[in-house]
Structure 1
């Protein structure tokens, strides 16, 4: 029998939560400071200008409105505005979505961008705000408005920055635990999740919003107040194989999500937990394409038709232990393989193992990875230049590579999917790396996280002689799971062409040992049900460590070292 309820004691809110209206420091004239453009236009409601943003493709559609830093320096300020939204998709990270933010840069170049918290989906006009202590040495400031890596429509009005005496949430964290470490339950068995609010490591009182999501399609939300040291407890169950994820978010006195600065960004004070029923019974939501192997055989023939010509192997610099090269190799498509290669100094022919690395979703340079006892080749996902200035990558991310992999028209057929040439470049990169004289001819290891884990599994499935794979928080797993009601995560809309790129279909063809170093039981980007399908599909030796308190990154103030975890092996 299904059940889901929350138990909690009565309590008072954080004593600092009482606010009073503050002095208005700045209010932009939107119609004078923002130029209409693609996906950006004005409407009017009485005397109030409304700035509208609309996006049908994943990407960045935002504007910056400069603010005189002298108005803000050294003050505690609140950025506020009224926002309405329609059909806004979930973002790839907690900080993506409808954006109303304050971009701050101090004289030392340190950046911070506190932003209001907004949900996905639709919402009527709502006042949203975020507060921050501005540094004395502020050099520049700007209000950022728009849609950041989501689709949908957002509308803004009455934007203002005020000075107010506000509660200090900088030391607040939410933590939690399930009632067991191996969070596998029987169908219908009660799952129990407990959440605590802390301030500077000490028990605190506050208001939490707890939301329960599940692969059974149920979503339930409750608000509650907690006493210091007394947990808020969520009890629920699941009647079928799959996962439940539960998140607790700290609210302010207005019922708005509290944000704090963490790792040079602003993010909600929240924590997530998860549990499951019979995950070993999970199968992919949609069968793999019948011609999966034939498609990839044909694609590899296309790659083989392009000679493996090294276009560039340029020595960039030498470190204490290795030589660093910028590499380009001919491949299919408009761009070559590009990457950063490191070879230990004085390495003898045939002496070293090979490590290939693949990066996460985004438009960025390949990284330099080195060690004194191995060759490392970090392959760029897009075949673009490496080591360039930030503006180069920003322009590509806003332009040609905006929302790559998410275009529904491209994903209908496997040959037009963006990921095809990405995988073929990776295979050519492996071919090049194995041609290096220093490689020992035996050991080849692949590593990657998220979008990089997807690439790792693809290369391992389509290549011979891989020694081992190490992946984390793998992406694009069980893309058809949404067709049977599982949690979606952040991924392209399901389309037939994507079946040829589903990480779980590659996993079933991987024969080498695979280590999944970390996966989140509350990962809203790569939900745990898809990760378990991947694990189930692996045919060889494998291990997987599942963590509580891990979304696609660690929650603010929560330590990886103390996180509850359980390792599964096969």
Structure 2
């Protein structure tokens, strides 16, 4: 009999977990919560540890400046006992000040960072809301509603358990009329508890990239229908090598495709695809359509906010470090959100009026303003992919019930406890 190897998928937020290294460079502000009032001074402690013990005589280079911006202070010093405390200065406007320290030992470079937040709940976004923002999206949703769902489910017996049926799902969704083979398709993995009655549902939206998905059987075994989707209009159960090829080929830099045209920008199909996923869940006889939630991290955090903002059938959302938030920050002298489209090597092409205008229709800040559903949010101050200046820009404009759990020392990754807290909160809401 032919043996088939199936990929076991971790939650998206776990894929970028930091790798343990022999030498650790630990940088921490002197307030235990890493938070300061504007104008208040911060001091950073830099520790170099090997096997948990201080490394004596190491030469450390540290740079201090606003996150993601050029350093305003740089110095190289030798530390006698493995620890050094430096004056970091302050910030007179709400934001984040970061200290990055590097050390060379035995021919290898080790790096650590610590980030102080200055009145972060007072950060205001730089992006503006287009006057026709709602009419644009109302029109887009109306166009989506004209496209039949045309759902096609394929049972995956090898993934089913004694408590859960698992399906590969293929849905029809909106696609720009001048793209080939439209309408487009949306694919995902559906996990349905076995048994009678209706169950709450959890839509799981993906982080950035191109990959297969395995479905969330664990939560389904707890009595929740789960639907884990991809965004690229391709099946999500192919050989992993297919996605590797696509990531460096057709889908490379997909976040910039058609940025000069709000009607054809890549994320229009993605955002509407998330609503189509809600359409599908609400249509299932096994789903209680009054108890649906959405969750994800990074790009998935952005899609969670967007989906809940555009679709009132979503009653709760859980978002880790939402991407696509206040992307115009870089045009205003501060950090902007992933995909950092207005800085670095792409800036010469993107910093144009038509692209800046299009970005506003897709910026998470403008969706966060619309939220009515209660939400739980979580991130850290050391995130260099979705900088906290950008995520606070979105969080601070939310008027719906909200809570933020900070794990200050995390970057673009989560602790197991952080994931557990979020999942437990979502289950608590759904199972009430």
Q: TM class by shorter-chain length?
A: 0.7 to 0.9
CA shift at 1:279, angstroms?
Answer: 2.0
Structure 1 pair 362–288 and aligned structure 2 pair: CA distance change class (3 A): same
Does the 8 Å CA contact 1:246/1:522 hold for their aligned counterparts? Answer: no
Cα RMSD for the two superposed structures: 2.4
Provide closer, same or farther for how the CA distance between residues 199 and 447 of structure 1 changes in structure 2, counting only shifts above 3 A.
same
Show the counterpart of 1:531: 391
Which residue of the partner structure matches residue 124 of structure 2? Answer: 283
The change in CA–CA distance for 1:172 and 1:183 in structure 2 (over 3 A counts) is: closer
Q: What is the 5 A alignment of 1:127-526?
A: 170-205=21-56, 206-214=58-66, 219=71, 220-252=73-105, 258=109, 269-317=110-158, 318-333=160-175, 334=182, 335-346=184-195, 348-350=196-198, 352-370=199-217, 371=219, 372=221, 373-407=223-257, 410-488=258-336, 490-491=338-339, 492-493=341-342, 495-517=356-378, 519-526=379-386
TM-score by length of 2: 0.81
Deviations 1:417-454 (A, max 9, x none): 10000111111111001111111232111110001111
Change (3 A) 1:218 1:238: farther
Moved over 4 A (4+): 215-218, 559-562
SS, match of residue 284 in structure 1: coil
Number of residue pairs aligned between Structure 1 and Structure 2: 377
Q: Say if 1:393 and 1:215 are closer, same or farther in 2 by CA, change over 3 A.
A: closer
Q: CA deviation at 1:218?
A: 5.2
Q: CA deviation at 1:308?
A: 1.5
Against the structure 1 CA distance between its residues 207 and 546, is the aligned structure 2 distance closer, same or farther, given a 3 Å change threshold? farther
Which structure 2 residue ranges, 5 or more long, are not aligned?
1-15, 176-181, 343-350, 419-432
Would the alpha carbon gap of residues 230 and 400 (structure 1) be closer, same or farther in structure 2, given more than 3 Å must change?
A: closer
| Structure in which a larger fraction of residues adopt strand | 1
Q: Displacement of 1:364 after TM fit?
A: 0.7
Instruction: Name the residue aligned to 2:424.
Output: none
Q: Distance in 1 between matches of 2:336 and 2:411?
A: 14
How far apart are the structure 2 equivalents of 1:417 and 1:247?
36
Per the alignment, residue 59 of structure 1 pairs with none
User: How far does residue 273 in structure 1 lie from its aligned partner after superposition?
Assistant: 1.3
**Highest Rg: 1 or 2?**
1
Deviations 1:65-111 (A, max 9, x none): xxxxxxxxxxxxxxxxxxxxxxxxxxxx899xxxxxxxxxxxxxxxx
Shift of 1:242: 1.4
| 1:228 positional shift | 2.9
Q: State the shift of 1:210 in Å.
A: 1.4
TM-score computed with the length of structure 1 as normaliser: 0.62
From the superposition, tell whether residues 250 and 548 of structure 1 become closer, same or farther in structure 2 (CA, over 3 Å). Answer: farther
